[in-house]
């Protein structure tokens, strides 16, 4: 059973009760991420996420760490382009304790100056670690190239030089602007009673008030083209992508099936052609991201420099084929079987259910039953996939980011 309550300050609480579960997953979601930062604020959403665990008036950082361990489950947080989430999963009888902990770190971080300096170093190490991971770095470089110096193009963690200059006053000023109950969703799934959760959450959040009006998200223009980032590596890491569809777009079902058939699993076209038939790469896959008003259809791979041109040619051939020929009935049926199974298997995980609850509320304002999602995907036709591919898979709309031994300026890359 799915239920929803709205507190007087606009904060929403949504639950999905699964009484046969022993556990419950809880998330406090703020519909604010790096996309909502001004250029001078880049990285502050992520910085605040880190500072939440450094201490509150009731708990030291060590107290928080010990309590997380004592509940016997897990508790963590993450920041994305559009959301910040503090979440945990525990046995059902530990829910009151988890509610108290997450409410405290979300609402009452001290953000002391000495803790800020320590966490600044931690975040800088996180940024440097990303610099040493080419699979992650190529995604950051792609976003920066494709969306330029816009909100979607800036890295979630911020730039090292900018993070080095963050001070307590600017961090707290951004927090006052960004943390608003009207932009907050509390989601829980598993063995949870809705009214009991409301009774636990309401006292903690009753003093949480809306400050300045929310910021409007602006569209980010795209910059197609080829972007090279020379680096001494054994492989070339590439990300090829184009604008997709937004989270609320009716074509999201067709987009999901397109991504799956193109490169979403081991029987997908890219995996079978580029890895199995041609032996050009060990890792290649297509990925799909939904934002509130737009999206991204991307392809990522790692390839030996000598195989790069052959891989790009094969990629281009598969994209053209996707846009020119209807998907075979057998291929579509296999994709339907895969997606049906993966969705229902994920429904046995309360973490996954909690995330679905929150994202449905954030993007649609209401719950969308799992059966409705499956039905929407099952209705997608080969013709619809081809028509969407014609729109999304136009070479002039795509950006290609190359990280590795690609310094030869005379070498032309096409796909």
Catalytic residues: 49
Residue whose entry in the numeric block shows the structure tokens 């809306």: 210
Cα separation, 258 vs 383, whole angstroms: 11
Cα separation, 11 vs 8, whole angstroms: 7
| 8 Å CB contact between 87 and 28 | yes
Cα separation, 105 vs 110, whole angstroms: 9
Cα separation, 3 vs 12, whole angstroms: 11
410 contact partners, CB below 8 Å, separation of at least 6:
none
| 8 Å CB contact between 384 and 211 | no
* DSSP annotation of 328: P
- Token pair, residue 339, equals 């997606």
Dihedral pair phi/psi, residue 382, rounded to 5°: -60, -35
Q: Go through 294-324 and write b for each residue having 16 or more CB atoms within 10 A of its CB, e for each that does not.
A: bbbbbbbbbbbeebbeebbebbbebbeebbe
Q: Go through 248-257 and write b for each residue having 16 or more CB atoms within 10 A of its CB, e for each that does not.
A: eeebbbbbbb
Q: Residue 3: is it exposed, middle or buried by C-beta count within 10 angstroms (0-12/13-18/19+)? A: middle
Number of H helices, E strands in the chain: 15, 11
| 8 Å CB contact between 307 and 280 | yes
| 8 Å CB contact between 186 and 4 | no
Cα radius of gyration (the chain) = 23
């Amino acid at each position: 059973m799915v239920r929803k309550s709205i507190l007087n300050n606009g904060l929403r609480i949504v639950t999905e009760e699964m009484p046969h579960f022993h556990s419950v997953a809880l998330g406090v979601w703020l519909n604010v991420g790096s996309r909502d930062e001004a250029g001078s604020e880049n990285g502050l959403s992520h910085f605040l996420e880190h500072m939440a665990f450094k201490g509150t008036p009731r708990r030291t950082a060590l107290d928080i760490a010990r309590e997380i361990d004592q509940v016997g489950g897990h508790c963590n947080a993450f920041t994305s382009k559009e959301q910040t989430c503090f979440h945990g999963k525990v046995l059902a009888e530990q829910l009151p304790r988890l509610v108290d902990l997450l409410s405290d770190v979300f609402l009452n971080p001290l953000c002391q100056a000495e803790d800020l300096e320590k966490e600044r170093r931690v975040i800088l190490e996180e940024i440097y670690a990303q610099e040493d991971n080419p699979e992650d770095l190529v995604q950051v470089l792609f976003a920066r190239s494709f969306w330029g110096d816009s909100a979607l193009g800036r890295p979630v963690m911020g730039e090292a030089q900018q993070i080095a200059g963050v001070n307590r006053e600017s961090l707290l000023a951004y927090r006052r602007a960004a943390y608003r109950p009207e932009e907050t969703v509390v989601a829980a799934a598993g063995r949870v009673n809705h009214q009991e959760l409301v009774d636990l959450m309401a006292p903690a959040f009753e003093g949480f008030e809306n400050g300045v009006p929310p910021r409007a998200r602006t569209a980010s223009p795209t910059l197609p083209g080829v972007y090279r980032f020379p680096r001494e590596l054994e492989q070339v890491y590439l990300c090829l992508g184009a604008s997709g569809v937004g989270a609320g777009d009716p074509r999201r079902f067709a987009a999901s099936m397109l991504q799956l058939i193109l490169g979403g699993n081991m029987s997908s076209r890219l995996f079978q052609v580029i890895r199995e038939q041609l032996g050009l790469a060990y890792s290649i896959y297509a990925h799909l991201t939904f934002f509130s008003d737009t999206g991204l259809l991307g392809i990522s791979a790692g390839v030996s420099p000598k195989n790069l041109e052959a891989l790009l040619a094969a990629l281009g051939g598969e994209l053209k084929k996707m846009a020119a020929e209807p998907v075979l009935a057998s291929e579509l049926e296999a994709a339907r079987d895969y997606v049906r199974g993966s969705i229902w298997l994920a429904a046995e995980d309360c973490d996954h259910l909690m995330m679905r609850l929150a994202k449905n509320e954030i993007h649609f304002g209401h719950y969308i039953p799992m059966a409705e999602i499956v039905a929407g995907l099952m209705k997608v036709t080969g013709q619809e996939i081809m028509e969407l591919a014609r729109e999304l898979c136009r070479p002039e709309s795509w950006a290609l980011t190359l990280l590795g031994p690609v310094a030869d300026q005379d070498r032309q890359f096409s796909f």
